[in-house]
């Protein structure tokens, strides 16, 4: 009896375990819902080849209820179930285009292992637009200004990319007309060298929602030169002479100052005045105008744009007088040499205050030739004039040079003696 009872109990237990296995593991009527399975868009590249793009997608994931054997259901999950929508049948743009999707399972599960009891959503809806590409200009929007005494060279700013290429749906791309970089110059004392973000804007400088737009660059390098500014007075170098001094001339410059920009070091080195040129009064015979090019060192920019300045020169209170000079003095003949003047008379023009010139006579003028450093030979030499007291403001305005021969000492005496002997011999011959 005991053996029969034990066998019966064992049979019941085995049957229960078999039932439990079928219920929990094999169970062909089992159902399972899988949530948030990612939706894959298939053949999206084909859409791009047709010049189209998706601007709206009603769902990016789906929920599936599957039925099948428990042994198969436990093999799948939202990560290995593939849900794909085929876009290859879309040829034209449109809104709320209905697209279905297919479901596939991993390789260790038979393709017919499940029945899809329900899909949520059953289909997806897409908005499709023309995909366009266009180039838009980059504009710099200046905010604020640099401090006093500085200047930002905004007109000559340098952009790494003057244009930006945008790609996206036509409805958005048509709104975008420019890429705007905001640059705040407030308290900016140093030149700018920045990598800048930009904003895609419409014609009214209003930002456009460009989340569906792609561009060829994310940042644009910007260079803006910011320099110190300084006012520089223009002046000239005056050379007195020829009987004219600073008191005998009025000089007016067409431009008295210019504004320049440059580095701190360059402007400090430049000082507060700029000499535009030299006015030599020995060359000025009458009222005249001279033009000078404004000289600037490299790195200095003339902000006024004035490249030349004219000097109006007016003489006052001067007179001239001409003399024919026959007495010429020789001074500073080097030791061991002597001089023979070839020029016996020369024209001399003097200039000075009109009152002194009126009284000046030839007796008040002595012409001197200085032979300091002269060497043997025949050459021309400049002259200088010495005036008697009372005519110290008079000077030489124009004078001819003299020709002279410089010879070893004694040469002229020998030649003179020889000439005298020849003359005496000729006289004796005539007496006979």
Of the candidates 362, 294, 379, 278, the one whose C-alpha atom is nearest the C-alpha of residue 328 is 362
> Would the pLDDT of 162 be above 50?
yes
- Distance, in Å, from the CA atom of 411 to the CA atom of 378, rounded to the nearest integer, reads 14
- Distance, in Å, from the CA atom of 182 to the CA atom of 143, rounded to the nearest integer, reads 7
Read off the pLDDT of residues 178-200 as tens digits, 9 standing for 90 and up.
999 999 999 999 999 999 999 99
Q: Per the structure block, which two tokens stand in for 319?
A: 């007179």
> Would the pLDDT of 420 be above 60?
no
Give the least confident one: 128-132, 212-216, 258-262, 428-432: 428-432
Q: Per the structure block, which two tokens stand in for 162?
A: 């003057």
- Distance, in Å, from the CA atom of 356 to the CA atom of 394, rounded to the nearest integer, reads 7
- Specify the pLDDT at position 7: 59
Longest dimension (CA), the chain: 207
Q: List the end-to-end C-alpha distance of the chain, in Å, as a whole number.
A: 207
DSSP β-bridge partners for residue 290: 311
> Would the pLDDT of 22 be above 70?
no
Of the candidates 328, 413, 337, 326, the one whose C-alpha atom is nearest the C-alpha of residue 372 is 337
Read off the pLDDT of residues 315-330 as tens digits, 9 standing for 90 and up.
999 999 999 999 999 9
Q: What is the mean pLDDT of the chain?
A: 89
Q: What is the mean pLDDT of residues 364-381?
A: 94
How confident is residue 3, by pLDDT bands cut at 50, 70 and 90? Answer: low
Q: Are 407 and 375 in contact (CB under 8 A)?
A: no
> Would the pLDDT of 427 be above 90?
no
How confident is residue 424, by pLDDT bands cut at 50, 70 and 90? Answer: very low
- How many other C-beta atoms lie within 10 A of the C-beta of residue 46? 15
> Would the pLDDT of 375 be above 60?
yes
How confident is residue 288, by pLDDT bands cut at 50, 70 and 90? Answer: very high
How confident is residue 411, by pLDDT bands cut at 50, 70 and 90? Answer: confident
- Distance, in Å, from the CA atom of 401 to the CA atom of 404, rounded to the nearest integer, reads 10
CA 230 to chain CA centroid, nearest Å: 20
Per cent of the chain over pLDDT 90 is 81
- Distance, in Å, from the CA atom of 104 to the CA atom of 86, rounded to the nearest integer, reads 13
More confident residue, 356 or 13: 356
- Specify the pLDDT at position 324: 94
- Specify the pLDDT at position 2: 54
Q: Are 167 and 319 in contact (CB under 8 A)?
A: no
Looking up tokens 């920009």 gives 261
> Would the pLDDT of 376 be above 80?
yes
More confident residue, 179 or 270: 179
> How deeply is 159 buried, as exposed, middle or buried, from its count of CB atoms within 10 A (0-12, 13-18, 19+)?
middle
How confident is residue 28, by pLDDT bands cut at 50, 70 and 90? Answer: low
> Would the pLDDT of 239 be above 70?
yes
Q: What is the mean pLDDT of residues 96-111?
A: 91
- Specify the pLDDT at position 428: 46
Query: What sign for the dihedral angle of Cα 209, 212, 215, 219?
Result: positive
- Specify the pLDDT at position 11: 61
- Specify the pLDDT at position 403: 95
Read off the pLDDT of residues 211-228 as tens digits, 9 standing for 90 and up.
999 999 999 999 999 999
Q: What is the mean pLDDT of residues 364-386?
A: 94
Torsion angle of C-alpha atoms 70, 76, 78, 84, degrees rounded to 10: -120
Q: What is the mean pLDDT of residues 196-208?
A: 96
pTM greater than 0.95 (yes/no): no
> Would the pLDDT of 429 be above 50?
no
- Distance, in Å, from the CA atom of 105 to the CA atom of 113, rounded to the nearest integer, reads 9
> Would the pLDDT of 395 be above 70?
yes
> Would the pLDDT of 416 be above 90?
no
Read off the pLDDT of residues 117-157 as tens digits, 9 standing for 90 and up.
999 999 999 999 999 999 999 999 999 999 999 999 999 99
How confident is residue 17, by pLDDT bands cut at 50, 70 and 90? Answer: low
> Would the pLDDT of 13 be above 90?
no
- Distance, in Å, from the CA atom of 156 to the CA atom of 252, rounded to the nearest integer, reads 35
């Amino acid at each position: 009896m005991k053996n029969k009872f034990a066998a019966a109990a064992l049979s019941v237990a085995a049957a229960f375990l078999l039932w439990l296995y079928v219920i929990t593991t094999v169970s062909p009527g089992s159902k399972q819902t899988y949530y948030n399975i990612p939706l894959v868009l298939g053949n999206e590249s084909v859409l791009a080849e047709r010049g189209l793009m998706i601007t709206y997608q009603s769902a990016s994931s789906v929920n599936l209820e599957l039925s099948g054997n428990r042994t198969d259901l436990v093999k799948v999950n939202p990560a290995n179930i593939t849900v794909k929508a085929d876009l290859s049948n879309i040829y034209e743009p449109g809104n709320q285009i209905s697209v279905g999707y297919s479901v596939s399972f991993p390789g260790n599960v038979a393709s017919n292992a499940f029945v899809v009891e329900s899909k949520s959503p059953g289909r997806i809806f897409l908005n499709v637009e023309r995909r366009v590409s266009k180039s838009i200009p980059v504009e710099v929007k200046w905010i604020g200004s640099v401090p006093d005494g500085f200047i930002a060279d905004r007109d000559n700013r340098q952009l790494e990319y003057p244009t930006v290429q945008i790609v996206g749906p036509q409805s958005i791309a048509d709104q975008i007309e420019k890429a705007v970089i905001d640059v705040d110059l407030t308290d900016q004392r140093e030149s700018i060298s920045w990598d800048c973000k930009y904003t895609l804007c419409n014609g009214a400088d209003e930002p456009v929602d460009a989340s569906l737009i792609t561009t060829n660059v994310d940042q644009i390098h910007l260079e803006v030169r910011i320099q110190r500014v300084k006012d520089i007075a223009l002046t000239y170098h005056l050379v007195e002479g020829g009987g004219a001094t600073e008191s005998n001339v009025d000089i007016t410059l067409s431009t008295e100052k210019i504004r320049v920009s440059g580095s701190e070091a360059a402007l400090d080195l430049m000082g507060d005045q700029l000499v535009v040129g030299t006015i030599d009064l020995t060359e000025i015979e009458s009222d005249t105008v001279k033009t000078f090019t404004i000289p600037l060192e490299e790195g200095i920019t003339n902000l006024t744009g004035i490249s030349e300045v004219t000097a109006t020169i007016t003489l006052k209170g001067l007179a001239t007088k001409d003399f024919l000079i026959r007495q010429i003095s020789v001074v500073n003949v080097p030791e061991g040499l002597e001089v023979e003047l070839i020029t016996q008379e020369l024209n001399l023009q003097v200039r000075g205050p009109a009152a002194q010139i009126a009284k000046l006579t030839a007796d008040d003028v002595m012409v001197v030739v200085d032979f300091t450093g002269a060497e043997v030979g025949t050459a021309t030499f400049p002259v200088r004039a010495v005036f008697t007291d009372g005519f110290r403001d008079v000077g030489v305005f124009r004078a001819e040079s003299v020709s002279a021969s410089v010879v070893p000492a004694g040469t002229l005496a020998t030649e003179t003696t020889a000439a005298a002997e020849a003359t005496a011999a000729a006289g004796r011959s005539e007496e006979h």
